[in-house]
Chain A
């Protein structure tokens, strides 16, 4: 069974840092792109970052670039999101998701974790 479990969220003061983790199981983690998506209270889904299966390519949303780093450890079947200089507006539930590329060239995120809450407040 495919599973992804996020951890590392919590309450942090503005300007602080957090490292989110996503533990994947039930599939060959090293074969898939992965992404982080967040949802702030009362807002829509926002794509945050993605990373190629071997970690050689990463992309970030413009509003967070320079403050976040996505990484992965394929030996540990784990995805990470390092967040620095956190702001109140970064408060959100952060989801990790597997990005699948089907044989016909289609793309979509077919498995998601349940999310980890990040709250930035003084």
Chain B
């Protein structure tokens, strides 16, 4: 089973700043198999990025993904108050489609 470790646990930034969220895997896999989600309380998860770097339909270009192998990054530029949420990465490599533990992003 691939373990995904996200960092930092919590990120507190101001509107207009850039957020950099990390997702590190316990073993290497194709970057096609990494997705990022946004989760707000009381709402279903929302797909942001699939294939490590492809934005899902309707996702603003402030959201971007990068990385390969074992290290993946979600970058949110020009933060807005509505970006306050918990962000999760998920891998689809080995049918055990594990999530990272999440990064909580707080907008000051």
Contacts and interface: CB of A to CB of B under 8 A. Distances in A.
Given A57-B95, A109-B35, A115-B44, A102 B51 contact: yes
A114 interface: yes
B45 A95 contact: yes
Nearest to A47: B97
Interface in A50-95: 50, 57, 59, 61-62, 95
Interface residues of A, number: 28
B105 to A, nearest CB: 14
Interface residues of B, number: 30
Contacts of B100: 44
B5 interface: no
A3 B57 CA distance: 16
B70 interface: no
Nearest to B33: A107
Main secondary structure of the interface of A (DSSP, over half): strand
B98 interface: yes
Nearest to B96: A59
Contacts of B96: 47, 59, 61-62
Given A106-B32, A109-B47, A112-B45, A45 B39 contact: yes
Contact of B44 (A44, A46, A57, A112): A112
Contacts of A45: 37, 39, 45, 88, 90, 99, 102
Given A37-B45, A45-B99, A46-B99, 12 more contacts: A44-B86, A44-B88, A44-B101, A45-B37, A45-B39, A45-B45, A45-B88, A47-B99, A57-B95, A100-B50, A108-B50, A115-B44
Interface of A: 35, 37, 39, 44-47, 50, 57, 59, 61-62, 95, 97, 99-100, 102, 104-110, 112-115
26 contacts: A35-B97, A37-B99, A39-B39, A44-B86, A44-B101, A45-B88, A59-B96, A61-B96, A62-B1, A100-B50, A102-B51, A102-B54, A104-B54, A105-B32, A106-B33, A106-B51, A107-B32, A107-B92, A108-B35, A108-B49, A108-B56, A109-B37, A110-B56, A112-B45, A112-B46, A115-B44
